[in-house]
Amino acid sequence: MNYINIHKHSPCISNEICIQDLIIGKDKIQILPNKHYSVGIHPWFINNIEQQKQDLVEVSHKKNVIAIGETGLDFQKDILLHTPVNLQLDLFKFQIELAYKHQKPLIIHCVKCFDELIKLKKQYKDSIPWIIHGFSKNSNIANQLIKNDFYLSFGHHLLQSEKNKEALIGVPKEKIFFETDDKNLPIEKIYEEAAFLLKTSVKILNNQIAENYKSIFYI
């Protein structure tokens, strides 16, 4: 069985269909044939804005770059010291508009700013998917996001946090994805936990995630 892994910072392994995440200004941006990528400018790694924008524009149109990101907002105090709110917002909006231009989903990093993110989404028409990667929060935040048509991608927090487990149970199955992010963790462990929580089989859940994947990544 092959498992969909929509956010990973290393190449796919044999039992995965994955989207490898590349960060402009941090990673070597090498787009290989027959692989799928998301490419974006992360709020932790803003260092040469105009060059980073240019580099992203140059790869964003490529067929196997199937999402823009991870991008987003991070309002932790230590991050704001070197990337203030206005800078983050301007750069995030640039990437949103690029995603709309190419009609590709957004993979979003969001820390301590869900209200701001929801407010921002309401300013844009609902023609591309917005996906919160590594969703680690509770049911209340999950419900707010789902009401505003976000997708949620669950990762290693699902194995550790009771509140995150409860959040998954309340999310419509067509709005769910799974990922390993930067963790050295088999993706099937996340599927097994999710299937247990959702009272279904791993096979049925995997089929649902495959349908979700096909429906929004236009592959």
For residues 162 and 127, the model is more confident at 162
Strand (E) or helix (H) holding 69: strand 65-74
Task: Give 131: exposed, middle or buried? Use CB within 10 Å, 0-12, 13-18, 19+.
Answer: buried
The CB-based long-range contact list for 112-118 (8 Å cut-off, 24+ gap) reads 112/74, 112/75, 112/76, 113/73, 113/74, 113/75, 114/141, 114/144, 114/145, 116/73, 116/75, 117/72, 117/73, 118/144, 118/145, 118/148
Whether pLDDT at 68 is above 70: yes
Quickly tell me which residue has 């909006």 as its tokens.
93
Whether pLDDT at 115 is above 80: yes
Whether pLDDT at 6 is above 70: yes
Whether pLDDT at 2 is above 70: yes
Look over the chain and give the mean of its residue pLDDT values, rounded to a whole number. Answer: 95
Query: Which pLDDT score is estimated for 219?
Result: 59
Domain boundaries, the chain: 3-217
Nearest to 191 by CA among 153, 219, 138: 153
Cα separations in angstroms, 49 against 16, 41, 90, 94, 194: 33, 9, 11, 11, 39
The CATH code for residues 3-217 is: 3.20.20.140
- Tokens coding 109: 């990093």
Alpha-carbon gap, residue 191 to 177, rounded angstroms:
10
List Cβ neighbours of 30 (8 Å cut-off, separation of 6 or more).
22
Whole-model pTM: value is: 0.96
pLDDT grade for 126, boundaries at 50, 70 and 90? confident
- Tokens coding 192: 């097994």
Asked whether the beta carbons of 136 and 164 are under 8 A apart, the reply is: yes
Query: Which pLDDT score is estimated for 125?
Result: 78
Whether pLDDT at 137 is above 70: yes
Strand (E) or helix (H) holding 4: strand 3-8
Whether pLDDT at 127 is above 90: no
* Length of the chain in terms of residues written: 219
- Tokens coding 199: 């009272």
Asked whether the beta carbons of 148 and 118 are under 8 A apart, the reply is: yes
For residues 31 and 126, the model is more confident at 31
Average confidence (pLDDT) over 37-49:
95
Average confidence (pLDDT) over 158-180:
98
**Residues forming beta bridges with residue 5, ordered by sequence position:** 18
Whether pLDDT at 141 is above 80: yes
Whether pLDDT at 75 is above 90: yes
pLDDT in tens, 192-203: 999 999 999 999
Nearest to 177 by CA among 74, 88, 69, 84: 69
